[in-house]
A and B are shown apart, each in its own frame.
Chain A
Amino acid sequence: DQQVKQNSPSLSVQEGRISILNCDYTNSMFDYFLWYKKYPAEGPTFLISISSIKDKNEDGRFTVFLNKSAKHLSLHIVPSQPGDSAVYFCAAAEGTGTASKLTFGTGTRLQVTL
């Protein structure tokens, strides 16, 4: 049973426009969420995170929104750049002391076109 779902396997966005990547979860015990970015043949790199006590966290061009009632989070990238082309994974954890229990989504491949 997939507890973290990224229903869009791919997304194509023009350079300069906004990219919105979505993630849904089913486990109501999740209270910490992270986004990772992955280039081919490399390991994922941490991008941004959000705790369930917040509904928004911003870091430069990247903003994560959390809607707890809908069990939905999204990553906004604005403006999108060609270097943002990668696979983005959403991950979730429940409670403190649970870095070991990160549950990952299946990823969304973002292609930023010129």
Chain B
Amino acid sequence: DGGITQSPKYLFRKEGQNVTLSCEQNLNHDAMYWYRQDPGQGLRLIYYSQIVNDFQKGDIAEGYSVSREKKESFPLTVTSAQKNPTAFYLCASSRGATGTPPLHFGNGTRLTVT
């Protein structure tokens, strides 16, 4: 079955540590995205990538970094510079960034930083 795999489902880190969230897709989608969800808020776009080796900042990119070395993979690093890293992180993909295709989401990673 094709889909998006995010791992791990739950992640705990100490403040000041960088942490990398994994996202893999086997849908052969060109575009991939990272969103963050906080209680009572909609999903907010962190970073997106329309093609391998290229990515763009979303609305809340500060304190995050990404890479897109392979079409299937789009890992997100939450750095110590991110002021409020505790959140539910969702990775998504779409066939392309043109024509506004629907996004397909993974099941998310809940990150808790103490």
A residues at B contact (CB < 8 Å): 2, 4, 9, 32, 34, 36, 41-46, 49, 89, 91, 93, 96-107
Contacts and interface: CB of A to CB of B under 8 A. Distances in A.
B96 A99 contact: yes
Contacts, number: 73
Contacts of A106: 40-42
B104 to A, nearest CB: 7
A22 to B, nearest CB: 15
Interface of B: 4, 6, 9, 31, 33, 35, 40-45, 48, 50, 56, 58, 90-92, 94, 96-108, 110
Contacts of A98: 97, 100
Given A4-B42, A99-B31, A104-B42, A43 B90 contact: yes
B33 A100 contact: yes
A4 B59 CA distance: 15
Nearest to A103: B42
Given A45-B105, A99-B103, A102-B103, A89 B97 contact: no
B4 A97 contact: no
A100 B92 CA distance: 10
A41 B108 contact: yes
A43 B41 contact: no
30 contacts: A4-B42, A41-B9, A41-B108, A41-B110, A42-B107, A42-B108, A43-B4, A43-B105, A43-B108, A46-B102, A89-B43, A91-B43, A93-B100, A96-B98, A96-B100, A97-B97, A97-B98, A98-B97, A99-B94, A99-B96, A99-B98, A99-B99, A100-B33, A100-B56, A100-B58, A100-B97, A102-B45, A103-B42, A105-B42, A106-B42
Contacts of B50: 100
Nearest to A97: B98
